[in-house]
Amino acid sequence: MDYNTSLPPLILKEYGRNIQKLVNYLKSIEDKEERLKNAHTLVELMKQIAPSVKETNETNQKLWDDMYIMSDFDLELDGPYPVPEEEILHKKPERVPYVNNRIRFKHYGRNIELLVKEAIKKEDPQEREDAIIYIGKLMKSFYSSWNKEVIDDAVILDNIKAISDGALDIDLEKVKEDNLFERLYKDKRKSGRPQGKPDNRKGGRSRRRRN
């Protein structure tokens, strides 16, 4: 009886030792057509081991690649896919660069800076002014949600100038006079008396008639 400890290590453990033995058997078949026929049968068997794998061109190619890998790239076949390069097994993945987006005003968020960049691109004066007003409304709403305080329109406008490096500006007196930076989202305040409950104040009760 062969014990796993005395056998050579598996190249791809997910397929098991029997699949590895069948791959080794493929390498011993001298007839090229017979070898290819058995390779197709082996790939179908590998699919049964992983029934959750969907039938797609990519998954089929992966199965053939795995078979070549288990053969230690020593399997000559006229298969449907090219033989993978041996270097891919030892190639380290490329390092993903760390995204370092420094946000000048964190309480406004990254999206405000993106909106400011888009507003700078607008050449039409009216469209640019409309964009500034909309950004100001958003900034005032975000600030109130984050700080629970009302921020002055002058501060909002200064922040817009800072984010846009001075490219965006609007008349402050016009903003204040027309309340252009009014918040988009307002807090819902509860009414003084809950809806559906009777008014128990004096004079609000219905008096019963005495017989």
What pLDDT, in 10s, does the model give residues 156-209?
A: 999 999 999 999 999 999 999 999 998 876 655 444 444 444 455 444 444 444
Mean pLDDT (whole number) for 95-101: 63
Percent of the chain with pLDDT over 70: 77
Residue 126, pLDDT > 80, answer: yes
Distance, CA of 71 to CA of 125 (rounded, Å): 68
Which are the contacts of 63, defined by CB distance < 8 A and separation ≥ 6?
Answer: 43, 46, 47
Cβ count near 71 (within 10 Å): 19
Per the structure block, which two tokens stand in for 23? Answer: 């791959």
b/e 139-163 (16+ beta carbons within 10 angstroms → b): bbbbbbeeeeeebebeebbebbbeb
pLDDT, residue 6, reads: 63
pLDDT at 96 over 70: no
Cα diameter, the chain: 116
pLDDT (0 to 100) of residue 204? 45
Phi, psi dihedral angles at 158 (to 5 degrees): -60, -40
Residue 9 confidence (pLDDT): 81
Average pLDDT, the chain: 82
Q: How far apart are CA 35 and CA 13, in angstroms?
A: 23
pLDDT score of 57 more than 80: no
pLDDT at 53 over 80: no
Position 63 pLDDT exceeds 70: yes
Token pair, residue 41, equals: 């049968």
Q: What is the tens place of the pLDDT at every residue in 142-158?
A: 888 777 778 899 999 99
